[in-house]
Structure 1
Amino acid sequence: MKESFIYSFFVFLFLCLLHCITCYTVRQGDAVNKFYLSNRERKFPSSLASSHVSKSDLKSIVYDNYGLKDGDKVIRLPGQPNKVNFNQYAGYVTVHRATGRALFYYFVEADENSMSKPLVLWLNGGPGCSSLGYGAMEELGPFRVMSDGKTLYRNPYAWNTVANVLFLESPAGVGFSYSNTTSDYAKSGDQRTAIDSLAFLLNWFERFPEYKGREFFIAGESYAGHYVPQLALAILHHNDSSINLKGIAIGNGVINYETDSKGMFDYFWTHALIADETIHAIHKFCNFSPEAFQQPLECQRAVGEVIGVLDDLDLYNIYAPLCFSSGVTPTPKPPSIENFDPCTPNYVEAYLNSPEVQKALHANVTKLNYTWSACSEVIPNWSDSPFTMLPIIKELLSNKLRILKYSGDVDGNVPVTSTRYSLNELGLAVKSPWRAWMLNNEVGGYTLVYEHNLTFATVRGAGHEVPSYQPARALLMIKSFLQGVPLPAA
């Protein structure tokens, strides 16, 4: 779009707030904050850029993938438990040969009947955070890492019990993904990410032709609220018969800057985290619209008060314990899938920096020249980021795609309040009214269905990374979505 806006001073304050209260550990939202803070003087489009890559352009970056699948097969991951009955693959797909840009993937087939189950692509956010480190190793993958940073244990609620799951580290510069042209990293942005992800898929389906035409879904969380719908739109515009896109799922995702921002502060107040006077001042003096160029001192003071109050809180799960240790333990602690260990990122980082693990995953570390980290340290800025995804979501709905927007209800980073405000902006009629959904005779969360096949669901007791905190509820939710059936009632 030709129209663009400079980020308001409120954005600076708002993201300073998030940066300060999450600095004890690197998380997906930290990358969002760093991204906004470092780019607050840059201009960003108010909606998705209208330019698209032509079919002929994309065809030129579909390369010969013959015989590469066998080389990507993972024989066994170090520390892997016995009796693993599904295939694993990992490796690189070149998305731009001239610059040497290659994206890393990790793929796990379904543990039973893989040829009859759908394919799900999982994307983590940031922008610039790893779908291998977060999604695969901390959330919905088949394994979790024990506290020694060397041993894996099974996740009984892994999503590959209901689907074949493909984890993509995108864009180049994230995780094990790389470019031979260093200047590529400075060109990272929403549009480049969507184009490269589509190029990845076109090549990946050539490498795994048995999945062509399979029911295909894209899911992700956090800043993947941008990645997921933009990639889905690119797929629709490309109209390739090998990609049978059926729907998308977005968890605790940023989709509309103005309502996402307002909803965050309202969530703080409704959960007794900030004072009445503070929220009154924010409502009265702060302008949440992207057109706002300057905020009055009263707004700045109110946001400063929020920073002071929430400084020692885990914003990603406001009721979760904090991690007070660094590194790993000499011997593994007894693990628990149901009670997420807040120090898990330490264990995952140690595991993925093991040379044995990198070799097993076919990671080309000689191209990287840096240690693996959960969120990229080589992407200096982000070139484009639309303020809203709502027009794209409307277009996807008009193309009869199934959409699930879900929220862990104890996430303060992109809280359920923000999502409800943002979805209300779509102006859709309610098809099935608000109700509880159940698992094992307990409330798993709440849900309603809008017209045009948009489902909103909350996950009770889940933080920003929903499958980390409520793995059983997350699995039931995604299973229902993939099968196109309502979440179970009482």
Structure 2
Amino acid sequence: MGRSRSHSHCHSSVFGLCFLFLLLSDCFCLSSSSGAQESDRITELPGQPRNVDFAQYSGYVTVNQKAGRALFYWLVESPASREPASRPLVLWLSGGPGCSSVAQGAAQEIGPFRIRPNGKTLYSNPYAWNKLANILFLESPAGVGFSYTNTTSDLYTAGDNRTAEDAYIFLANWFERFPQYKHRDFYITGESYAGHYVPQLSQIVYERNKGIQNPVINFKGFMVGNAVTDDYHDLIGTWEHWWTHGLISDSTYKVLLAACNSSSSLRPSTDCTKAITLANAEQGNIDLYSIFTPPCNSTGSLKQNLRGHYPWMSRPYDPCTETYSPIYFNLPEVQKALHANVTGIPYPWETCSEVVSSNWGDSPLSMLPIYKELIPAGIRVWLFSGDTDAVVPLTASRYSIDALKLPTLTNWYPWYDNGKVGGWSQIYKGLTFVTVTGAGHQVPLLRPRQAFILFQSFLANKPMPS
């Protein structure tokens, strides 16, 4: 599967040594990192709009020399006019497990560019999150997107534990390549199965920061949307959402409750699988990730899909958006501009890796123990939920939050955008929960403006505008 492109960088274990050496002379780490950093600079992406006023970097960071595992990243800094040096660093992780943060987070949701239906040109996203922070997208684990491994068995043995460890090693090494970000306020965000990735990585960063007076990773908090959190509560909440939204029959709802309650969502029982098959038949051809918008048809054409205007959107939602990324990111000139696929991976870049996701290994039943550890430690924790998602719905998140038994500081209230209700929020002691009305599973895709307001409130740690 090719060899890792070598970069000079200091390993995390020499942070202290490098710091000491800096006091005595110019640390080699700094000079070698600036060279590696500069070689990762993106000069221009094919088809990008004119007048791009922010710096971008992308490339590989080796996380396991022996196995030849290297993770691909894409850093989009804030525009020069918004003083990127004064803004925090925010890591984005897409879920799956096995889906690309470049495909989903960057190209469909919060990145500076969206891909046109021709798959060859880009247009600006007016609600890009890099207007508020420097955004780091990571394709994780190895085998997802452009991230690779020279050890084929890695693709069949991925799981939560190694994904979190590799992501931590990535960060430690990345900060050596980008020393200007050391000690900068740092947040971790994501969605869906990143409901596992985000708290797990947060826990490792928090625990390894303990006892360090001035930690390199200045971790402040995390935020995750439509998050897979706790198998038991997620399932109860999902079946309830399907039933209360008229997607399934009373009888199927009862069967789901009986057959699927104790199963792990990744390893359901035979009876549970049968009940889900029955539910799928009753739901028909709808997009479960966004139940009130039309699904993309098989040709990926929009013409027959978009009928009427959806009042909650600034422009009609394009249900085929996911089909544009594979066209764009497989273009040789795009890969060259991104310093990607330097090893000649023998398979095409894809939005989600079927091999990685279908062979997923360890997956704890619940993330709630991590919440119980990090909330009392003063880590900022926000959860948000698009209320038209039927895959990891609002009700699932509410059941999981309820299980934490946190005292309420501000009870359920509507928040507003331009005089209209944008959703609802409840503030607990140590956790803020926000819903975004009319948004599906990928909130920033369907409600970009409201997601931008949400991100702004999270960074400021202020309640949603009421």
Name the TM-score, length of structure 1 as normaliser: 0.82
- Match among 294, 297, 301 for residue 324 of structure 1: 297
Comparing 177-186 and 423-432, the one that deviates more: 177-186
Q: Note the C-alpha offset of 1:274.
A: 1.6
In structure 2, give the amino acid aligned to 1:360: A
CA distance 1:369–1:131, shift in 2 (3 Å): same
Question: Residue 365 of structure 2: which of 381, 384, 387 is its match?
Answer: 387
Say whether 1:426 aligns with 2:404.
yes
Per-residue deviation, 1:337: 6.7
Q: Name 1:210's counterpart in structure 2.
A: 180
Cα distance in 2, alignment partners of residues 343 and 109 from structure 1: 28
Name the CA distance, whole Å, in 2 between partners of 1:192 and 1:59: 19
Measure, in 1, the Cα distance between the counterparts of 2:123 and 2:269. Answer: 50
- The one-letter code matched in structure 1 to 2:170 is F
8 Å contact from structure 1 (residues 338, 471) kept in 2: no
Match status 1:261 vs 2:235:
yes
Paired residues of 2:264 and 2:365 also in contact (CA < 8 A) = no
| Counterpart for residue 43 of structure 1 | none
Distance of 2:363 and 2:452 partners within structure 1: 31
CA drift at 1:287: 5.0
Match of residue 59, structure 1, among 5, 10, 13: 13
What are the residue-to-residue correspondences of 1:360-399 with 2, within 5 Å?
360-379=337-356, 381-399=359-377
Partner of 1:93: 61
How many angstroms does 1:278 deviate by? 2.8
Alignment length (residue pairs): 425
Kept in 2: contact 1:128–1:375 (CA 8 A) = yes
Task: Go from structure 1 to structure 2 and tell me whether the alpha carbon gap of 1:435 and 1:98 turns closer, same or farther (over 3 Å shift).
Answer: same
Partner residue, 1:229: 199
**For structure 2, which runs of at least 5 residues remain unmatched after alignment?**
1-10, 19-28, 307-312
Matched to 1:180, the amino acid is: N
Q: Percent identity?
A: 50
Correspondent of 2:280 among 307, 313, 317: 307
What CA distance in whole angstroms lies between the structure 2 residues aligned with 1:337 and 1:85? 25
Please say if residues 466 and 474 of structure 1, whose CA atoms lie closer than 8 Å, have aligned partners that are also in contact: yes
1:149, 1:328 within 8 Å by CA — same for their partners in 2? no
1:353 equivalenced with 2:330 (yes/no)? yes
1: distance between equivalents of 2:268 and 2:465? 47
Asked if 1:288 is matched to 2:288, the reply is no
Alpha-carbon deviation of 1:427?
A: 0.9
> Which has the higher mean CA deviation after the structures are superposed, 222-231 or 373-382?
373-382
Task: Indicate the larger mover: 133-142 or 288-297.
Answer: 288-297
Q: What is the deviation of 1:305?
A: 3.1
- Letter of the structure 2 residue corresponding to residue 107 of structure 1: L
Q: Equivalences for 1:67-106 in 2 at 5 Å?
A: 67-106=35-74
Q: Secondary structure at the match of 1:374?
A: coil
**C-alpha offsets along residues 190-226 of structure 1, whole Å, 9 cap, x if unaligned?**
0101110000101111111111111110000010000
* Pair 435,326 (structure 1): closer, same or farther in 2 beyond 3 Å: same
* Structure 1 residue ranges without an equivalent (≥5): 1-56
TM-score (norm 2): 0.86
Do 2:34 and 2:178's aligned partners in 1 also have CA atoms closer than 8 Å? no
User: Partners in 2 of 1:412 and 1:224 — Cα distance?
Assistant: 17
The answer (yes or no) to whether the contact 2:263–2:269 under 8 Å persists in 1 is no
Match of 1:466 among 443, 450, 455: 443
RMSD of aligned Cα (Å): 2.4
What is the CA distance between 1:346 and its match in structure 2? 1.4
Q: Which structure ranks higher in relative contact order (CA pairs < 8 Å, sequence separation ≥ 6)?
A: 1
Alpha-carbon offset, residue 114 of structure 1: 0.5
Once the two structures are superposed, residues 52-82 of structure 1 have per-residue CA deviations (whole angstroms, 9 ceiling, x without a partner) of xxxxx96289997452100000001000000
Partners in 2 of 1:338 and 1:209 — Cα distance?
40
Counterpart residue type for residue 321 of structure 1: P
Cα distance in structure 1, aligned partners of 2:328 and 2:411: 45
Partners in 2 of 1:473 and 1:132 — Cα distance? 21
